Chains A and B, each alone.
Chain A
Amino acid sequence: MAGPLVQVEKLSKTFGAGETAVRALAEVDLVVEAGEVVGLKGPSGSGKSTLLNLIACIQEPTAGRLSIGGQVVWNGQWRVPDLRRLRRERIGFIFQFHNLLPFLNAVDNVALAMTLDGVDRTTARQWAGALLDYLQVGKRASAMPSRLSGGEAQRVAIARALVNRPQVILADEPTAALDSERARVVMDLLRQVAQEQQAAILVVTHDEKIFDRFDRMVALRDGRIEADERRAM
């Protein structure tokens, strides 16, 4: 293990102010190591999506400290001048409904993440094609998202999340739209990626059928960590 890639210390998030203030996250501590796949569960309003948003740097914490890949990102204020660049280079995202751009085919959806990072289109498409082959959807490279099955689309989305070799992968209910069999395949794929790329993977999920695919399962309730269980695989 190469050390923690996500380090959350006493991280809090409060929405609003005064009497109407809602504390969504209260002094949460969480460390995710390289190669680790961590599940985040909890009832609605428990703060799991807020925690994911804070780690993704798309919402600003109210207090605490956040580090990504050993670099302090927030400790009272943002410490990184270009958050989008940070997300582009270090964080990969997988969504519940794949969120592929409907006007780009599968390979271009994957290559887009690289071209945003300045890689020329030809090289980006070559890399994207190879990654789609690796994820066993290479034959669907030229298909538009509307022509892909749920499982295929989610694999393409995973390829997009991986193509810039991010240190951290954040997934928001990635198996919610999939049947049990495909959900397990996706999770096995994420485990494989975590191992091979030594990435830290954090997955928000309600899907009990994949709970056994996590190294750790963190349970949140009322903005606090209720349980943090390491699982024997």
Chain B
Amino acid sequence: MNLAMADIRHKLGRFVLTCLGLGLLMGVALSMVGIYQGVVSEALALSRSLRADLWVVESGTRGPFAEASRIPGDVREMVARLPGVAAAGAITLRTAEAQAPQGTIRVQVIGYEPGRPGGPSVIASGRGLGGGRFEIVADARSGLPLGATLMLGRNRYHVVGTTRGLVASGGDPLIFMQLRDSQDLQFRLAPAAARRAIAANSAGGGTDTVNAIIARLHPDADPALVAETARRWKHLSALTDQEQSNLLTQSVVNRARVQLGMFTVVLLFVSAVIIALIIYTMTMDKLREIATLKLIGAPDRTIIGLVLQQALLLGGMAYVAAVGLVFAARDVFPRTVALGPAEVAVMAVVITVICLLGSLVSIRAALRIEPQQALGG
């Protein structure tokens, strides 16, 4: 005879409401885990999509994500000739606010040369960039459909393809365009400023500047060795993809990551306290029944089983509600909520441990109930 289930059935409405309430709290904690993972995956999304083995940037910087980096465009040819390099491409990166049909949107613009490293690895719909100018491939997170137009700077761009899940470390959706377009956008001066620069005889008119050169290596090439070779040019720095990834997660998004991590820990602690209180209240509600059970000879394992099973059922059902809630709502979040089977499973283990620990106080209290408390009015 399962007393825990019988008691739950008896107060089913109350139990379900408690589970839903606790599920909301667990849902928030689970969302934080997902957002934490999302920050990391967003930070790495671009570098992973570009499938670069080597990043060549301005000397003395750790660009182009952690610091600003500007190098001449022709460095690409120098890098391409390094031993072990299979292909090299120049890229520019710039955060911009653009006028989209739905309003002003914030995007990260990537300029690259089609046919060379630097473009998106997968096109979700439409096509990649061809030879034509003023075309863009936009990530779905920007809300731009195929065929839409986007006003960037002084020019109008047409969406010819879309990607999925490509965002910058700050969560801004990526927009890919021709390198020449992005250089114009980034480095060409406005007409009035250009006239002033020419009058002052300064070199304001040159735009063959890029932020980084990325290279893919031959399978047998050692990235560290090729990076070391590139660093011999005094005006350049080089990072392997692993170094770039470490930089992204440990420097660029580190503060956000730690903040989210600490908030998640606080939420889990709050959840643990609330779970313990709910289990304690559920147990103390049955004080007379537990005393009666002891009086009629129920062994301790029956009492422990009653409390423990209810605690685990409460935690289990609340967690199922939490998972359902988060998975139903995660696309509504402005930033990626990255939850996979591993995160869900680890969180399930954490919740189980919390329920077990939370029920210890209640079990201790239940075992201290005296059987004579069943007597009298």
Residues on A lying within 8 angstroms of B by beta carbon are 49, 52-53, 56, 58-59, 84-89, 93, 95-97, 99, 101-104, 108, 111-113, 115-117, 121, 124, 144, 160, 172, 176
Contacts and interface: CB of A to CB of B under 8 A. Distances in A.
- Of A58, A89, A108, which is in contact with the most chain B CB atoms at under 10 Å from its CB? A58
A87 B375 CA distance: 15
A124 B293 CA distance: 17
Interface of B: 1, 3, 6-7, 9-11, 288-289, 292-299, 302, 370-372, 374-377
A84 B302 CA distance: 12
B27 to A, nearest CB: 29
Contacts of A96: 375-377
B97 to A, nearest CB: 61
Contact of A99 (B3, B9, B374): B374
17 contacts: A53-B375, A56-B295, A85-B299, A87-B295, A87-B296, A88-B296, A88-B297, A89-B297, A95-B375, A103-B3, A103-B7, A108-B1, A112-B296, A115-B1, A116-B298, A172-B375, A172-B376
Contacts of B293: 101
B295 to A, nearest CB: 6
Contacts of B7: 103
Contact of B375 (A49, A86, A101, A115): A49
A99 B297 contact: no
B9 A95 contact: no
B6 A93 contact: no
A120 to B, nearest CB: 10
A116 to B, nearest CB: 5
Contact of A121 (B1, B370, B377): B1
Give the 7 A-B residue pairs with the shortest CB-CB distance, closest first: A88-B297, A103-B10, A103-B7, A87-B297, A58-B371, A84-B297, A103-B6
By secondary structure, the B interface counts as: helix
Nearest to B292: A99
Nearest to B374: A99
B1 A111 contact: yes
A161 to B, nearest CB: 8
Given A96-B376, A108-B1, A111-B1, A102 B10 contact: yes
B1 A160 contact: no
Contacts of A111: 1
A95 B374 CA distance: 8
Given A58-B371, A102-B289, A108 B297 contact: no
Contacts of B1: 104, 108, 111-112, 115, 121, 124
A85 B6 contact: no
A121 B371 CA distance: 24
Given A88-B297, A116-B297, A104 B6 contact: yes
B1 to A, nearest CB: 5
B146 to A, nearest CB: 60
A187 B293 CA distance: 24
Nearest to A114: B1
Nearest to B375: A172
Nearest to A88: B297
Given A53-B372, A112-B1, A93 B377 contact: no
Contacts of B296: 87-88, 93, 112-113, 116, 160
Nearest to A172: B375
Nearest to B370: A58
A124 B11 CA distance: 25
A97 B294 CA distance: 17
A100 to B, nearest CB: 8
A115 B375 CA distance: 22
Contacts of A117: 297
A101 B292 contact: yes
A85 B302 CA distance: 13
Contact of B288 (A99, A108, A172): A99
Contact of A84 (B3, B292, B298, B377): B298
B2 to A, nearest CB: 10
Contacts of B299: 84-85, 116
Which of B1, B9, B299, B374 has the largest number of chain A CB atoms within 10 A?
Answer: B1
Given A89-B297, A176-B377, 10 more contacts: A58-B295, A84-B298, A85-B299, A88-B296, A95-B292, A99-B288, A108-B6, A112-B296, A113-B297, A160-B296
Nearest to B4: A103
A153 B246 CA distance: 71
B6 A116 contact: no
A58 B377 contact: no
Contacts of A56: 295, 371
A112 B294 CA distance: 12
A119 B375 CA distance: 26
A144 B10 CA distance: 9
A93 B295 CA distance: 8
Contacts of B9: 103
A167 to B, nearest CB: 14
A87 B371 CA distance: 11
Contacts of A115: 1
B372 to A, nearest CB: 5
Contacts of B376: 49, 96, 172
Contacts of A52: 375
Nearest to A103: B10
